[in-house]
Structure 1
Amino acid sequence: MSIQSTAGAAVAAPQPQLSRARAIAAITIGNGLEFYDFVVYSFFATLIGRLYFPVENPTGQLLMSFATFGVGFLMRPLGGLLIGMYADRAGRKPAVALTLWLMGLSSLIFVVTPSYAQIGILAPVMVVVARLVQGFAIGGEMGASTALLLEYADDRTRGFYTAWQPFSQGLAALLGAVTGLVLSNVLAPAELEAWGWRLAFLIGILVIPVGLVIRRRLEETAAPLHHGEHAAQWPLLRRHAREVLASILLMIGLASSTYIVIYYLSNYAVSVLKMPLSLSIWAGCIAALVQVALSPFAGRLADRIGRKTVVLWSRVALLVMVYPAFVLINAEPSLARLLVVVACLSVPMSMTAPASMVLVSEVLPQRLRATGLSIAYCVAIAIFGGFAQYFSTRLIQITGDTNAPALYVIACGLVSLIGLALVPETLGRRLK
């Protein structure tokens, strides 16, 4: 299928395979660089809690840090809506360029903001502002970049092309984990706390020049709307309310599993299993590596046997595995057990992401694709992903059960199966 456009008109002629391969690389690398900034905060959450939140109780510091992590997600629906609508009106390329600049700004705030001991209450305020900017940018990036990937594909390869979106997120998590691992092992704890962790965010500022250079030659896949055409977006959104609702439910399961397995388990190892940060970050490395390795395969599989089939069996597998996995690592905490558990849970998590994203993207028409996908993904992520670490920590505190995070993943996974039942199989269907 040629690159999609409005009213059935072609925006650009079909491109040779090499050109499309380069386009996938450009979108993937740029998206990965943006997610890197968001990921780094998660791996340094315990350290940031000590520096910016004056709570004497270590658990309180951790909760404040996780809450600040979650605050950034509250801006994702707004960023997804506004930048998604901008992408559907003005085109995908201007939207992804805007998100790059916003992510660079948020990284700069982290680099230059002194600790609470140095400037008082202004320090946590600045951290929250940086998180809000990050969340707004990521919310817009998700819909625009995924729409670009999907619209470069044909009817037989949409799953494979869309799979590079979770691939880029895994790549970002891997880069963030490796950066944290190197810094925590090379620097002394005092050096890491004083200035070392800021180097990770300094690297993130590279998203501006690198991202703009690699994306400047991308072909636009959606023609800008003419004057007055954008008014049709709101009726279109109401007309497809069922699809948007089903998409949100689907994304709830994806959000909870992703943020527990890739991000939370590293902090869980520090706060619950009492492992040093220099070792616990290996959990994030393993999870991200599995996601990077399996995402393209999962996309291909969704193109062969169907999106719903892949989503169903991968999510059922995760629901069955997650509670015994937590029991195993708590029975005898060790780095080896932690890494085995993370690797096993990462397999179904990595398999479900590409199929879920392409399924959600395909049920929406082009003029609603970036907006609808952004809304669905960001609403689910804002609550069930961004606050997954906070909810899990609170569940442990309330119940006294260190296996409680598994129950959170199970509950969210069951809800997502309702969304799966509400959407049709889209394998082989032409895009609207």
Structure 2
Amino acid sequence: MPLDPTTMAAPTHPPVSSQDADQKKPMSKASAITAITIGGALELYDSGVYNFFAMLIIPLYFPVGNPFGQLLLSFGTFGAGYLMRPLGGLVIGAYADRRGRKPAVLLSMWLMAFSALILVVTPPYAQLGIMAPVLMIVARLIQGFAIGGEMGSATAMLMEYADERSRGFYTSWQTASQGIAAVFAALVALVLSHSLSPASLEHWGWRVAFLIGILVIPVGQVIRRRLEETLEPPARKKAAAGGWQLMRQYWRELVASVLLMTGLAAAVHLIAYYLPNYATFQLNIPRGDAVWAGFVAAGMMVIFGPIAGWMSDRFGRRTIVWWSRLALLVMAYPAFVVINAFPSLTCLLVVVGCLAIPMAMTSPATLVLVSEVLPQRLRATGMAVTYYVAIAVFGGFAQLFSTVLIHMTGSPNAPAFYLIGCGLVSLLGLAMVPETLGRKLS
């Protein structure tokens, strides 16, 4: 769905002097959406890279002899970063609702760079001892805090650039940015995995992936420097005094949002992140090949996210959420049965591609639905906190819970029950919110 700069030109501003014309010349809406999307993708890249290399990194920093314990540590440390996301959403989201979307996005971007730097320079446990896992956890916590702030601020900015007829499409580019980040991370992981020996990849290769993440952060800042602030001045003044009051006033919408986000979090993290690791330890597909599953899932997000956003502007938010969640509920168990019956890379990629389509469809419709039921003074904070409360519990630890379910039940298909359970819970949230298509933003 191409964005048309001629029909989405940003409001004109008073003339500026020639010497700072380049700095103050307003961007078209198409350029602004592109800048927000690319900047968000660059910022989320580090989290994707960590996922692809988690099973390689964790043994270097958390030496455990038991393979099952090693797997739990791998997924548990991955989830630790998610615990900070609600706090980051609350703190940086409140900053975005008070001071503006743009400074909040830039702050979270540089925090991401700092966390990646810690990962790049920290020696393994064999060289540094107990400080190695401590620094690893600190880096993950900072990374989670930064991502928690980016989500609400960037999504609010995307929505506030749009009008009543295009908010779903504009918001869908947040989903696309997540897909672009995962595609970028998967490509880097694939190149490093296939071009380096296992010893080189373990010794220094994975650090190159995080170093790339640090280098692209300044690029993201340059891309976003000309963005216009979308938070209106009256909202800035009211936000400082009314944030907690608004949360009490809109508690029903916030609860519904968390429930809605639960199904989304479980779907994204099981399909896009868990299945590549599942393919390695359960299906015995080489790590370098299994990464392709993450690449396929991310590609579906890039392609079908904007399509779903456009459809939600035509048929309604709740309609798209309902049918996409229902498709995931129906497909989840058969998908795991198939990949375990035919444990090949081809089968894995086909199954992931099929699951990723409804996953990609449900994401933008959910994000815009949640955003539209919240007032502007609570939008960035509410979006970030509800999204990352669900992500922290049901997304970040989805891999851990799924692994424990397999161990407890003895069934390799057990992760499907987790996805189905979260999906059913999310339908309760859908029943609590009205259709918001065409609603004027408060």
**TM-score greater than 0.5 by the shorter chain:** yes
What's the CA shift for 1:203?
Answer: 0.7
Counterpart for residue 147 of structure 2: 138
The aligned residue for residue 197 of structure 1 is 206
- Judge conservation of contact 1:100–1:207 (CA < 8 Å) in 2: no
For residues 90 and 226 of structure 1, the distance between their equivalents in structure 2, rounded to whole angstroms, comes to: 6
Q: CA–CA distance in 1 between the matches of 2:216 and 2:383? A: 23
Rounded to whole Å, the distance in 2 between the matches of 1:358 and 1:251 is 12
Alpha-carbon contact 1:45-1:62 (below 8 Å) kept: no
CA distance change for structure 1 residues 288 and 228 in 2, over 3 Å: closer, same or farther? closer
SS at structure 2 position matched to 1:431:
coil
Q: Report the Cα distance in structure 1 between the residues aligned to 2:236 and 2:438, rounded to whole angstroms.
A: 31
Indicate if the aligned counterparts of 1:90 and 1:223 stay in contact, CA closer than 8 A.
no
Match of 2:303 among 293, 310, 315: 293
Residue 253 of structure 1 corresponds to which residue in structure 2?
Answer: 263
The within-5 A match list for 1:95-174 is 95-174=104-183
Cα RMSD after superposing both structures:
1.5
Query: Counterpart of 1:174 in 2: which secondary structure?
Result: helix
Higher alpha-carbon deviation: 118-127 or 417-426: 118-127
**How many angstroms does 1:332 deviate by?**
2.0
Partner Cα distance (1:409, 1:122) in 2: 36
Whether 2:396 is the aligned partner of 1:373: answer no
The equivalent position to 1:398 in structure 2, one of 390, 405, 408, is: 408
Q: Distance in 1 between matches of 2:305 and 2:76?
A: 29
- The CA deviation string for residues 177-217 of structure 1, in whole angstroms up to 9 with x for no partner, is 11101100000000000000111100110243111111110
How far apart, in 2, do the equivalents of 1:364 and 1:13 lie? 25
Q: Does the residue aligned with 1:219 lie in a helix, a strand or coil?
A: coil
Partner of 2:52: 43
* Greater Cα offset, 111-120 or 360-369: 111-120
Give the one of 90, 103, 121 matched to 1:81: 90
1:411 aligns to 2:418 (yes or no) = no
Displacement, 1:274?
Answer: 1.1
1:384-395 equivalent positions in 2, closer than 5 A: 384-395=394-405
SS at match of 1:430: coil
Deviation at 1:48, TM superposition (A): 1.1
Structure 1 residue 49 displacement after superposition:
2.0
Using the TM superposition, give the Cα deviation of residue 13 of structure 1 relative to its aligned residue in structure 2, in angstroms.
3.5
Out of 319, 327, 340, the residue aligned to residue 337 of structure 2 is 327
Deviation, 1:17, is 11
Using the alignment, how far apart are the partners of 2:216 and 2:347 within structure 1?
Answer: 35
Question: Aligned partners of 2:291 and 2:243: how far apart in 1?
Answer: 43
Q: Secondary structure at the match of 1:429?
A: coil
Q: Within 2, Cα distance between the matches of 1:227 and 1:327? A: 55
Partner of 1:214: 223
Match of 1:339 among 309, 324, 349: 349
Report the AA paired with residue 402 of structure 1: P
Pick aligned residue for 1:306 from 291, 302, 316 = 316
Matches of 1:405 and 1:399 in 2, distance apart?
10
Unaligned runs of 5+ in 2: 1-9, 14-24
Q: Is the 8 A contact 1:103 1:207 kept in 2?
A: no
C-alpha distance in 2 between matches for 1:324 and 1:179: 31
Matched, 1:183 2:192: yes
Kept in 1, the 8 Å contact 2:26–2:228? The answer is: no
Cα distance, 1:389 vs. partner? 0.6
**What secondary structure, in the 3-state scheme, does the structure 1 residue paired with 2:231 have?**
coil
Note the C-alpha offset of 1:423.
0.3
Tell me the distance in 2 between the aligned counterparts of 1:62 and 1:29: 33
**Is 1:348 the counterpart of 2:350 in the alignment?**
no
In 2: Cα distance, 1:227 partner to 1:383 partner: 33
Could you tell me how far apart the structure 2 residues matched to 1:286 and 1:193 are?
25
Deviation at 1:80, TM superposition (A): 0.2
Whether contact under 8 Å (2:27, 2:226) holds in the other structure is: no
Deviation per CA, 1:261-303: give whole Å up to 9, x if none: 0000010011111111111001001111111111111100000
Quote how far apart the aligned CAs of 1:18 are.
6.8
Q: Cα deviation per residue 1:155-178 (whole Å; 9 max; x = unaligned)?
A: 100000000001000000111111
Partner-residue secondary structure (3-state), 1:333: coil
Q: Which moved further from structure 2: 395-404 or 306-315?
A: 395-404
Q: Is the 1:301–1:310 contact (alpha carbons within 8 Å) kept by the matching residues of 2? A: yes
The answer (yes or no) to whether the contact 1:184–1:192 under 8 Å persists in 2 is: yes
Identical amino acids, percent of aligned pairs: 65
Instruction: Report the Cα distance in structure 1 between the residues aligned to 2:182 and 2:173, rounded to whole angstroms.
Output: 14
Please tell me whether the aligned partners of residues 237 and 368 of structure 1 are also in contact (alpha carbons under 8 angstroms): yes
Deviation at 1:227?
A: 6.1
| Post-superposition CA distance 1:107-164 (Å, at most 9, x none) | 0011011111111111111110000000000000000000000000011000000000
Letter in structure 2 aligned against 1:155: E
- Please give the TM-score of this superposition, normalised by the length of structure 2: 0.93
1:5 maps to none
Question: Counterparts of 1:428 and 1:242 in 2: how far apart (Å)?
Answer: 21
Quick one: distance in 2 between partners of 1:260 and 1:109? Answer: 27
SS at match of 1:206: helix
Q: Which residue of 1 aligns with 2:16?
A: none
Q: Which runs of 4+ in 1 moved over 6 A?
A: 14-18
Q: Equivalent residue for 1:362?
A: 372
1:30 aligns with 2:39: yes
**3-state SS of paired residue (2:374):** coil
User: How many residues are treated as equivalent by the alignment?
Assistant: 421
Which residue type is aligned with residue 158 of structure 2? Answer: L
